[in-house]
C-alpha cells in the first residue's frame, strides 16, 4: 500500500499547468522601443497540461498577433485547440497568418461564442481570412479548421485532464471568459471585461471563473483617470483587476491587455504603485510579459 501511495504522489507531482504569454497587448499591436520590455503583440496565451508521461496538445487563449509567434516557434504542432474570447480584431488578427494552416493533415479547433445572432463564428473568422483581406481562401489552406460555437457552462475540448468552463463576460460585444483546470491547478482568463459603474461589485459569473484560482489573468487596460473618459469602452482599470482577484481569493494576478499607448516605464510605475495594495491582501501581482513562462500545480 505504501508503494501505491508513493506512485500516486509521484504522478500528481507532475500534474501541472504550463503557461506562456505570446501576446499581452490590447486593442492593436504596438511594437517599438517604448514597449519592448512587456511586448507589443496582441492577446495570445499558450497552456499545456504536463504529467509524468509528457505534455498535452497546446491550448491557445485567443488568436491575436501573438498566435503567429506561437505558430512560428511550434511549426511541427499539428493539433491545436483554441479558446476564443470574442472576435474583435486584436483577438483574432493572428489567425490567418499561422503556419499551421498550411500543414497537410493538421487541424485547429476553435471554440468561441457566436458573435451576433445572424453571424456565425465560422463566417466571422473566414471573413478576415479570405479575399479581399487575404489572398487565399481559408478552405483552400492545407489544414482543417473547425469552429465550435459555445455558450456558458462546461466545455469538452477533447484533451484528457483538462476541465474547461466558460462564462459570458460583460463587454461591448459578446465575450466569453474561461477557467482551465487540471487536478492540481487552475487558471482564469478574463479579458475585455467592462468594469461596473460602482467599480466595486463583481458579477457571479466572474466569481465562478476566478474563485480560488492559482492564476487570474485579467484585463487591466486603464488607469482610474483614463477610465473616467472611457467608462463604456469595455475594459477595466488596474485597481478593479486587483479588486476581482481579492474578492475571488485568487493566489496570483497577471495584469493583461495592456493599452497600446502604455510605455514600459509607465506600466512598471503603475504596477509598482499597485503592489502595496496587493501585498496587503496577499495577492501576488505582476504585469504579463511577452515570452514569460509559468508552471502551476
Closest among 19, 115, 30 to 59, alpha carbons compared: 19
Residue 77 lies in a domain: yes
Residue 293 lies in a domain: no
Who contacts 194 (Cβ-Cβ below 8 Å, separation ≥6)? 169, 170, 171, 172, 232, 234, 235, 236
Q: Give the per-residue pLDDT at 81.
A: 97
Q: Give the per-residue pLDDT at 5.
A: 44
Question: pLDDT tens for residues 93-136?
Answer: 999 999 999 999 999 999 999 999 999 999 999 999 999 999 99
Residue 7 lies in a domain: no
pTM of the model: 0.93
What is the Cα–Cα distance from 44 to 64, expressed in whole angstroms?
Answer: 6
Helical spans, DSSP H, in the chain:
2-13, 66-73, 89-92, 121-127, 204-210, 224-229, 238-248, 264-281
Residue 297 lies in a domain: no
Q: Give the per-residue pLDDT at 178.
A: 98
Residue 56 lies in a domain: yes
Closest among 27, 34, 21 to 254, alpha carbons compared: 21
The total domain count for the chain is 1
Based on C-alpha coordinates, what's the Rg of the chain? 19
Total residue count of the chain as it appears in this document: 297
Residue 138 lies in a domain: yes
Closest among 284, 209, 258 to 23, alpha carbons compared: 258
Rounded to 5°, angle at Cα 148 from 196 and 66: 65
Q: Give the per-residue pLDDT at 89.
A: 96
What is the Cα–Cα distance from 92 to 44, expressed in whole angstroms?
Answer: 9
The CATH number linked to 262 is 3.60.15.10
Residue 168 lies in a domain: yes
Mean per-residue pLDDT pooled into runs of 10, the chain (297 residues): 40 71 97 96 95 78 97 91 98 96 94 97 96 94 96 94 95 97 95 95 97 98 95 96 96 98 97 91 94 94
Q: Which residues constitute the domain of residue 35? A: 14-288
What is the Cα–Cα distance from 283 to 150, expressed in whole angstroms?
Answer: 32
Residue 1 lies in a domain: no
Amino acid at each position: 500500500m505504501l508503494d501505491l501511495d508513493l506512485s500516486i504522489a509521484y504522478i500528481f507531482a507532475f500534474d501541472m499547468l504550463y503557461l506562456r504569454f505570446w501576446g499581452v497587448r490590447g486593442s492593436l499591436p504596438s511594437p517599438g522601443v517604448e514597449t519592448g520590455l512587456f511586448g507589443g503583440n496582441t492577446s495570445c496565451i499558450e497552456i499545456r497540461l504536463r504529467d509524468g508521461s509528457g505534455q498535452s496538445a497546446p491550448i491557445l487563449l485567443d488568436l491575436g498577433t501573438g498566435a503567429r509567434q506561437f505558430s512560428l516557434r511550434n511549426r511541427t504542432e499539428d493539433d491545436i485547440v483554441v479558446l476564443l474570447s470574442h472576435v474583435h480584431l486584436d483577438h483574432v488578427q493572428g489567425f490567418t497568418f499561422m503556419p499551421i494552416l498550411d500543414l497537410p493533415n493538421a487541424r485547429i479547433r476553435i471554440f468561441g461564442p457566436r458573435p451576433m445572432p445572424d453571424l456565425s463564428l465560422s463566417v466571422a473568422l473566414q471573413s478576415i481570412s479570405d479575399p479581399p483581406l487575404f489572398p487565399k481562401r481559408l478552405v483552400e489552406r492545407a489544414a482543417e479548421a473547425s469552429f465550435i460555437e459555445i455558450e456558458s457552462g462546461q466545455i469538452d475540448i477533447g484533451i484528457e485532464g483538462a476541465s474547461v468552463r466558460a462564462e459570458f463576460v460583460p463587454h461591448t460585444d459578446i465575450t466569453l471568459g474561461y477557467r482551465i483546470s487540471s487536478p492540481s491547478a487552475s487558471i482564469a482568463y478574463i479579458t475585455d471585461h467592462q468594469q461596473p459603474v460602482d467599480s466595486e461589485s463583481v458579477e457571479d459569473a466572474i466569481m465562478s471563473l476566478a474563485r480560488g484560482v492559482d492564476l487570474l489573468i485579467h484585463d487591466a487596460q486603464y488607469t482610474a483617470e483614463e477610465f473616467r473618459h472611457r467608462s463604456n469602452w469595455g475594459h477595466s482599470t488596474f485597481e478593479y483587476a486587483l479588486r476581482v482577484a481579492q474578492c475571488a481569493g485568487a493566489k496570483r494576478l497577471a495584469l493583461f491587455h495592456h493599452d497600446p499607448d502604455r510605455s514600459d516605464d509607465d506600466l512598471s510605475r503603475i504596477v509598482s504603485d499597485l503592489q502595496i495594495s496587493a501585498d496587503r491582501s496577499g495577492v501576488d501581482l505582476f504585469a504579463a510579459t511577452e515570452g514569460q513562462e509559468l508552471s502551476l500545480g
